[in-house]
Structures are given as C-alpha cells and as structure tokens.
Amino acid sequence: MEKIYIPKEKGSTTYLTHNFHSYPAKFVPQIPNYFIKKLTNEYDVVFDPFVGCGTTMVECKLLNRIGIGIDLNPIATLVSESKTANLSVTEINEVVNTVGQIKKAIYNLYEKGIFNYQIPYFHNRDHWFQNNVQKELTIIIGFLNKLRNRKISNFLKTAISSIIVSVSNQESDTRYAAKNKNIVDYQTFQVFEKKTESMIIRVKEFNSKANGINIEIYNDDSTKIDFLEDNSVDIVITSPPYANTYDYYLYHKLRMYWLGYDVSVVKNKEIGSRDKHSSQKKDIDDFNNNLKLCFTEVVRVLKHNKYAVIVIGDSIIRKKFFDSKKMMIALGLQIGLEFVDSISEKLYKTTRMFNPKFTNSQKSEHIMLFKNIKNEI
C-alpha cells in the first residue's frame, strides 16, 4: 500500500446514526471509512477490539463489510448495537407507541399523582438528580425494561442514555462538577421525546443507505477474544484508550447507574484510565502489558499480511512524556505487527475535560498502519 493519505476536509462527523450519543475521544468516521475502502473488499471481516460508540461498525454497515466489535463498557456496546441496527417500519411504529405510553404515564404522575415505581438507589443519587427528574427517569426506564424486542429496547435506551447528563446536576458530559439546572416538571420526558424523534429521522435515512449485513457487538474484556477463530479477520481498525487521559467509567457513571449496569466492573478493568495512573499510581508498564495482551490476540485473529489501523495519542504520566507511537512500534515488533506508515497531528487544548492535561502542545495523536507478518499459513 502507498502512504496513508486522509483528506484534510473531513466533512461532517455526525451524519446518519453517528450522532446518536456523545462519547469521549472517539475518532471521526472518515478514518475507518478511508481504510475500509482502501484495504478491504465487500463482505470482508472488520474487527474493532475497542469498539467504543461503534464508529467503525457504522461504516462497515454502510460499506457492506461484516463488522465485529468488543468493548468492556456496556454503554459503548449498547450504543454500538443501536447505531448499527436496521429498524423496520413496524419497529419504528412500536418505538413511537412506546413513547406515547410513557407520555401518558408522565401525565398521570403530575396530574393524578400516580407513581407506582421504586426509584433505584445509588450513591449520591439525590445530589445529582432532582426528585422530579428521578421520577420521570424511573417511569421511562421502567417502560424500556419491559420491552421484548432487543432492537427497540436498545434504541430507546440509547435515547435516554444520551440525555441523562443533560437533565442531571452534572455540569456537562465532560465536566464532572455539580450545577443546579432547575429542571422543571415534564422537561426530562420532553428532552427524551425530542431525542427519540431525531433518532427516528436518522435511522430511517440510515435504513435507506445501509444494508442488512451482519454486525456483532460483544460486551467483554478486549484482552480475551476467544469468540474469534485464528486468521479470521481481514482488517483491524481501532483506537485503544489513551493512557492517563480518561476515566470512561466516570464519563458514563450516571448512565450506568440508571440503566442497571455494574460501574465497578468498568472501573476495575479499564485499560489506561486516569484513576489507575494518577490515583493508584500505576506506571506505564501496566498500560503496555494490557495493550500487549489485547494486540497479541489481534495478531492471532488477523490474517497474514493483512493490516491493523491503530489510532492512539501520546500521554503524560507522573509528569513524564509517553510517546505512544514509539511504544506501538516496539510492541508491534514483539508480537508480529510490522510498522508500515503513520500520520500525526498535534493535540491542543480546546475544551474543559475531566483531565485538563489531555491536550497540550507536547502531545500528538497518531494514525498508525501495521501489517501482520506472523500468521503465515
């Protein structure tokens, strides 16, 4: 393959279902789109071991490739499944009917005082959510938990997950600080209803462009991908966590509480989290060892002479600069991934985040291309 070239004019990054749900540090869809077109054929298998919010999987669906993704975070896999599902006319109508039923229940709450639900308890619940918001969320999620159709349930749970922070007392998705937003009665449902309407418009357009090719999403640890056979994948496109940058569990903590997921599983098993490297004082070797476990599995499932595209950013751990490009090249040599090419771009601070040190002029983000030279049959 010739050198990597991705056009500077990236265009929209939120087309079709890509805007269903916010997600930290996701790469733009133009990256997987470029490499899928360049390096694969229709019906080839594309694997993303850190699937995140499913950006690569959406592009697989649009380009007629079989997509397989895995992620430890249940919010990630929920959103990925939702973004890649083709909803039939009947299923879309059931979404609309379900929202209508929820609307009646919210009306009964405020006009008739009817509330036959148990509000779930979690740590600091009353600090982060007003009582009226708690009741509306409980009613909405109560309805969603009764749905038997997984696609419809995932679709509506993605909608409610996407708005939970906006109706909480958390300042924003990327700012874990309390702020009184004075959410009025009916507002939580109205935001949910509006989000659902927007998603319906986008899934209809997605249906017109995406075919029914198979997408498989697994909620599990990326260091153990025993559901894939040796030499079964045609390309890997992924972006592993950037060391000491995000606590993904913290970003999705309130969402996981409300949707009934175990926050501790994500917190304890996250690779490269800020909590591990700052609070628990884990050094860079811990991050490297976990990445090695994951990419050793990648080499096992990736066909000989096929490519792995890895998007990764530099980090600073205990005031020491960590060159992720250099690390990945060294790791590749150990496990059978031959470095082919890369392009890099400086990271500059543009917004307030959980970790303000994420971006500065020292650090770069790298799109790296490797070839599997190990699995010759």
User: Which of 46-55, 61-70, 268-277, 326-335 shows the lowest per-residue confidence on average (mean pLDDT)?
Assistant: 268-277
For 170, the domain range is 89-209
pLDDT of 356 reads 45
Single out the residue in 193, 209, 225 at which a domain terminates.
Answer: 209
Closest CA to 367 of 316, 325, 315: 325
Single out the residue in 209, 237, 271 at which a domain terminates.
Answer: 209
User: CA 120 to CA 142: how far, in whole Å?
Assistant: 10
Max CA pair span of the chain: 70
Quick check: is 220 in a domain?
yes
- The neighbour count for residue 202, using CB atoms within 10 Å, is 17
Counting the structural domains of the chain, the total is 2
Determine how β-strand 302-313 pairs with β-strand 364-372: antiparallel
Instruction: List pLDDT tens digits, range 320-373.
Output: 788 889 999 999 999 999 999 999 887 654 443 334 444 554 678 899 999 999
Q: Does residue 216 sit in the same domain as residue 202? A: no
Residue 294 makes CB contacts below 8 A (sequence gap 6+) with 49, 50, 222, 223, 240, 271
> What are the backbone angles phi and psi of residue 156, rounded to the nearest 5°?
-75, -30
Residue 211 predicted with pLDDT over 50? yes
Give one DSSP letter per residue of 71-112, joined into a string: ES-HHHHHHHHHHT----HHHHHHHHHHHHHHHHHHHHHHHH
Q: Does residue 29 sit in the same domain as residue 146? A: no
Quick check: is 1 in a domain?
no
Residue 342 makes CB contacts below 8 A (sequence gap 6+) with 4, 325, 366, 367, 368, 369
Instruction: List pLDDT tens digits, range 237-250.
Output: 999 988 766 677 78
Q: Is the distance from CB of 222 to CB of 270 less than 8 angstroms? A: no
Confidence tier at 287 by pLDDT (50, 70, 90)? confident
Distance of CA 63 to the CA centre of its chain: 20
User: Which of 31-40, 194-203, 344-353 shows the lowest per-residue confidence on average (mean pLDDT)?
Assistant: 344-353
Single out the residue in 172, 194, 209 at which a domain terminates.
Answer: 209
- The neighbour count for residue 377, using CB atoms within 10 Å, is 6
Quick check: is 7 in a domain?
no
Quick check: is 114 in a domain?
yes
User: CA 59 to CA 41: how far, in whole Å?
Assistant: 13
Q: Does residue 109 sit in the same domain as residue 169? A: yes
Q: Does residue 180 sit in the same domain as residue 44? A: no
Q: Does residue 105 sit in the same domain as residue 79? A: no
Polymer length in residues for the chain: 377
Q: What are the distances in angstroms from CA 173 to CA 38, 135, 161, 271?
A: 34, 22, 11, 21
Quick check: is 254 in a domain?
yes
Q: Does residue 242 sit in the same domain as residue 355? A: yes
Mean pLDDT estimate for the chain:
89
DSSP 230: T
Closest CA to 133 of 109, 104, 158: 109
